Amino acid sequence: MEKIAVCDRQTDARELKAKGARGVIYRVSNNDNPRLNPIPVANLDDTNYQSLISYITSTLNPVGCILQSETVKDFNAPIVASFSSRGPNTIVSDILKPDITAPGVSIFAAYSPVAATAIG
């Protein structure tokens, strides 16, 4: 039977996968650190984590499943971060808008672990 690991600290998911876990559930206090994981991961706050632990400890054979991800549209888009600017400034015309903006926060993107981090 395949196993889902339940951890109250951020144990490396690669280590859990090497030990046979097919997924992991972490207790986290701050869900602000996206990371790449080789297996499906769920982050629970303290309240939900305690509910899960209660279920696990009160059930003879606790069962869990990992469902396929669902895309959720962000209805706040295309709002930029408060420290960014959309321009032009309608109040003070002497302040210029940037011609290029970037999201700046909560960016989760692909990268190569073997790519150079600096050039030169």
Whether 45 shows a pLDDT value over 60: the answer reads: yes
Q: 10: buried, middle or exposed (CB in 10 Å: 19+, 13-18, 0-12)? A: middle
Whether 76 shows a pLDDT value over 60: the answer reads: yes
Residues 24-48 have a mean pLDDT of 83
In a domain, 120, yes or no: no
Q: Supply the pLDDT for residue 85.
A: 62
Range of the domain at 31: 3-58
In a domain, 44, yes or no: yes
In a domain, 27, yes or no: yes
Contact 26, 44 (CB under 8 A): yes
Q: How confident is the model at residue 31 (pLDDT cuts 50, 70, 90)?
A: low
Contact 28, 45 (CB under 8 A): yes
**3-class DSSP state of 44:** strand
Whether 66 shows a pLDDT value over 60: the answer reads: yes
> Can you give the CATH number for the domain in which 33 is found?
3.50.30.30
Whether 106 shows a pLDDT value over 80: the answer reads: no
In a domain, 40, yes or no: yes
